Structure 1
Amino acid sequence: MAEGNGRDLPRSYLRRWRMYNTEVENLACLSDDEESVSSHVSAVQEGSERMHELSESQSSNININHEYGNNENEASSDNVESSNDEEISSEEEQSSENDSSGSSRVSSEDEQSDSDNNDLCKDLAEWATENKTSRDGLNSLLFIFRKYGHRVPKDSRTLLKTPRHIDINKKCGGDYIYLGIESGILKILTQNARHFTRNNELLLDFNIDGVPLFKSSNTQFWPILCSLSKYEPFIVALYCGNSKPNSVQAYLSDFLGELENLKTHGITFNEILYTVKLNAFICDAPARSFIKCTVGHNGYYSCERCTIRGEWNGRVVFNSSDNSPPLRTEEEFRACLYSNHQTSRSPLIDAGLFCINTFPLDYMHLVCLGVVKRILMFLKQGPRECKLSQQQLKLISDKLKNLRGKMPREFARQPRSLELDKWKATEFRQFVLYSGPLVLKSVLSRAMYNHFLTLTVALSILLDSIKETRNAYLDYAQELMTYFVKNATTLYGNTFVSYNVHALVHVTDDVKNYDTSLNDLSAFQFENYLHQIKKKVKNGQNPIVQVVKRLTEAEKSNIRRIHSKTFMYVSMKKKDGCFLLWNQNFAFVRERRPGKKYVCDILKPQYTEQFFKEPCDSKLINIAVAKNIERYASRQMVEEADIERKVVCLPYEGGYLLMPMLHGIERH
């Protein structure tokens, strides 16, 4: 028995020692927690010491047994030792093989662990960027991940790959950075290459506008934005100061230089040469005045399309009896012959750009925030001839509030009372196109109501995305706009026809020149992006640096740019279940079927009623009243390809007022 114990002792001791040693090595490779490694090493060392004490005690017992009756000759002892050495040697070789296989297994597990950690970090970065998570919040989340053994960075800046330094230039009286046109275009092409395989012409829309950052200071951004094929805009240049740039030449120099180079040489991507063309500068009136070097919109000669002279009536108004003043031309503008209109020579002229037709009159600022808001302001607090009583205003507000929840899901805001100071541009658009004709009926006088409808009908024609229908009624839209401006003084007083109201007579020209809907010439998408830029600034310390770092983080997180196409929500509720088909029938969804097919009640136009007769039959622009739908409709299967557009379906006199949607989705 003693001999067996003597032979087994070295093997068991070495086997356990190797096991503990391998565990420590593996733990050191797989863990970043030094305290955990230290605790395991201490445990192994304690185990080794206990094994050593045990071996010594057992060795002493063996020696005693040898002295008192187990004497063996030297030959047999040598044979036993040599035998033990061979067994230990073979066991070491086997253990070495096990260690090597264990280390290879650990290596493969380590590689898999690194891959999982990289995927985790990538997903965390995308999540944090998309949800605009604060730095402190993300740091707290990373701490929790590390607490439970995940190998993630300690700081959010490491996770998001935030650049350490941003080069900012002092220019035009403030801070300035130029990011470039080509770099932004290449990012869009890289993420959406398949959308640009059929057409190698890139049409660029640019926007320049001022954005105040804080209520307590004059700090403001003046970015140059670019939009390609209605994808989300990107920043070309960004200026930050206490006022607008003090030199338009210096402000536009980098931009105009690169634009000229791209127009000449184009852009090569995936071995395809794309030609670059300037489509339009879509700006509000103050920004157009700034970069064109013309008088402001309050000037006597402020009209950008004709040479009409305003007159003073508490403010500059355009009540001239001249119905057709001479139009401005590109040749005379280039020669700076409009001394009353141009303040200096614009750098756009030297860059070879057109300064009249290239600047469409943005209907978001001109019509929605300009004319429509002015109409409502005059109804609330204008001259006696147009001002409504408090009872009438309350009636309009109540009607608007009754429409809450009735607008389709595409609308970002539902109707609310006449708190005009809080209304956004989309709400004024909603009023003039959809809710206004309904809530103003029977409240305004017949003359004022029909006058308002001329604006609604004209805009409905100019906003129509169907080219053939729009072009067929362009001349009629021009007549309606001219009528609206000409008769506005009679209904609203001599102070009503401001710069914005007068410019309505020129809006139709932009639709003709660009051969597109007013939706494609509006600043709505740029204004939405400006709001996103503003939200990236958390404090007043280096606002430009904050924006550029957030943009870099989004770029490295591979956030895709959104294409602003129209999406349709479909449900069996009236507000999201009414559509206009290509054959001009109305469809009311009753069931949804797989494959984007719908069981609908089809109502033909002859079973609908007109909503108004002046200035034209409302059915001319597909506005109608539907009553007794169940009686006149027929049940049919409709596919998504049969749908032309969604219809706003509002309750009206026991039936429904149907008004086709004329704009894209307001939220994604």
Structure 2
Amino acid sequence: MNEQRKEYKRLWMKKYRARKCRKVTILESSESDGDTPTTSQTLKKNVISEKIKHNAVDSLLHILRNHGHSNLPKTCRALVSTSRLVKTVKVSGMDYYYFGIQSQIALLFDSVHPINYPNVLELSFNIDGLPVFKSRNSCFWPILCSVWFNEFRQCVFPVSLSYGESKPSSLQFLQDMVHELKDLIKNGLSVNGYFMEVKLHSVICDAPARAMVKSTKLCSGYFGCDKCTQKGYWCGRVTYPLVSQLVERTDMSFRQQTNQEHHHAVSPFCDLEIDMVKHFPIDYMHQVCLGVMKKLLLTWIRGKRNVKLSASQISEISNRLLALKSYVPKCFARKPRTLLEIDRWKATEFRQFLIYTGKIVLKKVLSNELYEHFMLLSAAISIFISPSLCKTNACLAHSLLCTFVTQSTTLYGEEFLVYNVHSLLHLISDVKEYGPLDNFGAFAFENYMHKIKRFVRCGKNPLVQVIKRVQEIGFSELNYQSVPQVTFSKPPNNAYVVCKSETVKCVEMVESNDKSCLCRVYSNVQPLFMEPFNSSLIHAYNININKSCMETLDITSVTFKRAVCIKQGNFVRLMCILHHL
């Protein structure tokens, strides 16, 4: 009996070694092409990029293994290297997981060519709540970090994730991030033998989240403004009527809590050697686009009788917006929608209306007084959002915003001057500190928030699901090759403003190659508007479509700026795209 068992064991081991040798041979043959990716690597990349569910991949792997691909893993977890065990802890009354700043940056730089390594690494952080399910109050509270590598890309990654039935009960969930950031600012960071100095660029939050992490009163409080000491005035809601002679808050006054009515407690961020006022800029995505611009539109649609638009006027504006859909380039995330869907508009749509389409669709529909008032805001934000104009014309934009806030009382009443409108007066200080509005906007963070929401596939352990998806994906989706300036030659993506020295041309590209392009150059170029300033400053023009000529331009010797080209009858409205693409 023992001899039979020994013989059986010997034959079994012989077959096992033969199978193992066969697997090794297959693997070696599949990987013998050097840099050519294996089937597993290609499949893994596709599963991650297409966000395919694990059970679907398991079925596919089973089929492939039965048809000659025995070298492939049996499960999706093995294919994408999913963590088996994820340990979370209870912090601030929520389930909490800390990825770490340094560990995440190290993973990031593994995907980056050393030529892109910066000498000084500037980090921006975002803290905000993210509802997950419509049927529950549960939400995520991620701490996100962004690193700017060049002017084309901004990389966002999570530093920590918290999940619970309500918002955090305390600010304890910030402690790990603050302690690690304090050490990095003091000692710097070494990645792959390359040393980098670390600086905090900014902490970008909407107004409620900013008040929470700074332990201050909400913006609806009497001393809710985190930029000045003005006391709010109650007229059905807290408003801020003063426009001039505002007393600015400073880092010293904040830390000493000289205005005690503004503070609840001491913020964890006070442990860092940062400016507690300047390092928390106004987020124009929430406060200008979703704040002031949305408030204006809702006032015109549902406000008082003296400023409310009629049904026919709303219909006219909506029809004009729909008529512009075919002229909006694909670099815009969304096409214009009607005012009937205003409650579903996203921040990018309000920005598009504020800077580009609103100038056209509101003209001769709004009263002259209301239109000129809107143009003050539109023109000022157009300057602040432009990387070049915000440096040279910041004072002009600030004076326009001061006029806008002052006239708002007369046109819409005192109750219009809520915190979001008041914060327009403080934009200039943040623009002078950080540059154009997109340098401290929350758009990149909100895009990543949308990814987090999509990582949740069922109601069981949402936090663990997101952690595993983040670890699987890593930074595999990054691409740091900059896009050429001139790439499109078909409408509506072929409009450009061409600049060379002080000469400006408005063109539509017809054909292009690596060195030159054939363009239709418009000769009779006039400003789109003259008030509140000449629109040539922001490259917005009104052009006679019949006066043009064909011309070949050298791509290497001129600067091409993308533009929106709207054709109406015999005229073209051409506006340079000012915001960060």
Structure 2 length as normaliser, TM-score?
0.91
Unmatched runs of 5 consecutive residues or more in structure 2: 1-11
State how far apart, in whole Å, the 2-side matches of 1:192 and 1:313 are: 54
- CA separation of 1:472 and 1:154: change in aligned 2, threshold 3 A: same
1:236 matched residue in structure 2: 159
Identity %: 37
What are the equivalent positions in structure 2 for 1:301-312 lying under 5 Å apart? 301-312=223-234
1:224 matched residue in structure 2: 143
Q: Please state which structure has a larger fraction of its residues in helix.
A: 1
Please tell me whether residue 552 in structure 1 is matched to residue 471 in structure 2. Answer: yes
- CA separation of 1:107 and 1:121: change in aligned 2, threshold 3 A: closer
State how far apart, in whole Å, the 2-side matches of 1:110 and 1:615 are: 69
What are the equivalent positions in structure 2 for 1:488-507 lying under 5 Å apart? 488-507=408-427
Deviation at 1:113, TM superposition (A): 5.2
Please tell me whether residue 602 in structure 1 is matched to residue 521 in structure 2. Answer: yes
Task: State the SS of the aligned residue for 2:145.
Answer: strand
1:616 matched residue in structure 2: 533
- CA separation of 1:456 and 1:566: change in aligned 2, threshold 3 A: farther
Task: State the SS of the aligned residue for 2:38.
Answer: helix
State how far apart, in whole Å, the 2-side matches of 1:608 and 1:353 are: 48
- Please tell me whether the aligned partners of residues 280 and 359 of structure 1 are also in contact (alpha carbons under 8 angstroms): yes
State how far apart, in whole Å, the 2-side matches of 1:568 and 1:402 are: 28
Please tell me whether residue 509 in structure 1 is matched to residue 429 in structure 2. Answer: yes
Please tell me whether residue 177 in structure 1 is matched to residue 97 in structure 2. Answer: yes
Specify the code of the residue in structure 2 equivalent to 1:128: V
State how far apart, in whole Å, the 1-side matches of 2:559 and 2:364 are: 33
State how far apart, in whole Å, the 2-side matches of 1:362 and 1:510 are: 10
Deviation at 1:289, TM superposition (A): 0.3
Specify the code of the residue in structure 2 equivalent to 1:534: K
State how far apart, in whole Å, the 2-side matches of 1:313 and 1:484 are: 20
Task: State the SS of the aligned residue for 1:395.
Answer: helix
Cα offsets for 1:90-115 (capped at 9, x unmatched): xxxxxxxxxxxxx9x99856732576
State how far apart, in whole Å, the 2-side matches of 1:488 and 1:424 are: 24
1:543 corresponds, among 462, 465, 472, to 462
2:251 corresponds, among 330, 344, 347, to 330
State how far apart, in whole Å, the 1-side matches of 2:393 and 2:424 are: 16
Please tell me whether residue 286 in structure 1 is matched to residue 208 in structure 2. Answer: yes
2:180 matched residue in structure 1: 258
1:392 matched residue in structure 2: 313
What are the equivalent positions in structure 2 for 1:96-107 lying under 5 Å apart? none
- Please tell me whether the aligned partners of residues 599 and 638 of structure 1 are also in contact (alpha carbons under 8 angstroms): no
- CA separation of 1:132 and 1:109: change in aligned 2, threshold 3 A: closer
Specify the code of the residue in structure 1 equivalent to 2:422: H
Specify the code of the residue in structure 2 equivalent to 1:119: T
Specify the code of the residue in structure 2 equivalent to 1:591: V
- CA separation of 1:222 and 1:565: change in aligned 2, threshold 3 A: farther
2:575 corresponds, among 659, 664, 668, to 659
Deviation at 1:190, TM superposition (A): 1.9
Cα offsets for 1:499-555 (capped at 9, x unmatched): 1001001111101122x1111110000000011011101122221111111112113
Deviation at 1:179, TM superposition (A): 0.7
Specify the code of the residue in structure 1 equivalent to 2:367: S
- Please tell me whether the aligned partners of residues 610 and 624 of structure 1 are also in contact (alpha carbons under 8 angstroms): yes
Structure 1 length as normaliser, TM-score?
0.80
2:276 corresponds, among 352, 355, 358, to 355
State how far apart, in whole Å, the 2-side matches of 1:660 and 1:308 are: 38
- Please tell me whether the aligned partners of residues 404 and 415 of structure 1 are also in contact (alpha carbons under 8 angstroms): yes
- Please tell me whether the aligned partners of residues 600 and 638 of structure 1 are also in contact (alpha carbons under 8 angstroms): no
State how far apart, in whole Å, the 1-side matches of 2:255 and 2:75 are: 55
State how far apart, in whole Å, the 1-side matches of 2:203 and 2:23 are: 61
Question: Number of paired residues?
Answer: 560
State how far apart, in whole Å, the 1-side matches of 2:324 and 2:471 are: 43
Deviation at 1:271, TM superposition (A): 2.5
Cα offsets for 1:429-462 (capped at 9, x unmatched): 0000111000000101111111111111111111
Specify the code of the residue in structure 2 equivalent to 1:503: S
Deviation at 1:358, TM superposition (A): 0.3
Task: State the SS of the aligned residue for 2:415.
Answer: coil
Cα offsets for 1:560-604 (capped at 9, x unmatched): 435597776743334211111223523434432331531112335
- CA separation of 1:110 and 1:650: change in aligned 2, threshold 3 A: closer
- CA separation of 1:163 and 1:446: change in aligned 2, threshold 3 A: same
Please tell me whether residue 647 in structure 1 is matched to residue 531 in structure 2. Answer: no
Task: State the SS of the aligned residue for 1:340.
Answer: helix
2:82 matched residue in structure 1: 162
2:376 matched residue in structure 1: 454
- Please tell me whether the aligned partners of residues 367 and 500 of structure 1 are also in contact (alpha carbons under 8 angstroms): yes
State how far apart, in whole Å, the 2-side matches of 1:432 and 1:450 are: 13
State how far apart, in whole Å, the 2-side matches of 1:282 and 1:159 are: 37
What are the equivalent positions in structure 2 for 1:472-491 lying under 5 Å apart? 472-491=392-411
State how far apart, in whole Å, the 2-side matches of 1:414 and 1:295 are: 38
What are the equivalent positions in structure 2 for 1:554-633 lying under 5 Å apart? 554-555=473-474, 559-562=476-479, 570-583=487-500, 584-595=503-514, 597-603=516-522, 607-629=524-546, 631-633=547-549
- CA separation of 1:401 and 1:366: change in aligned 2, threshold 3 A: same
Unmatched runs of 5 consecutive residues or more in structure 1: 1-23, 33-102
Task: State the SS of the aligned residue for 1:591.
Answer: strand
Task: State the SS of the aligned residue for 2:567.
Answer: strand
1:98 matched residue in structure 2: none
- CA separation of 1:459 and 1:113: change in aligned 2, threshold 3 A: closer
Cα offsets for 1:317-368 (capped at 9, x unmatched): 2224x62221111111110111111111112123333210001101000110
1:524 corresponds, among 416, 422, 443, to 443
State how far apart, in whole Å, the 2-side matches of 1:301 and 1:430 are: 32
Task: State the SS of the aligned residue for 1:359.
Answer: coil
Cα offsets for 1:123-182 (capped at 9, x unmatched): 111110110001121112112212212112222111111111011011110100111111
Deviation at 1:484, TM superposition (A): 0.6
Please tell me whether residue 202 in structure 1 is matched to residue 121 in structure 2. Answer: yes
- CA separation of 1:150 and 1:349: change in aligned 2, threshold 3 A: same
- What RMSD over aligned residues (CA atoms) do the two structures have, in Å? 2.5
State how far apart, in whole Å, the 2-side matches of 1:611 and 1:502 are: 29
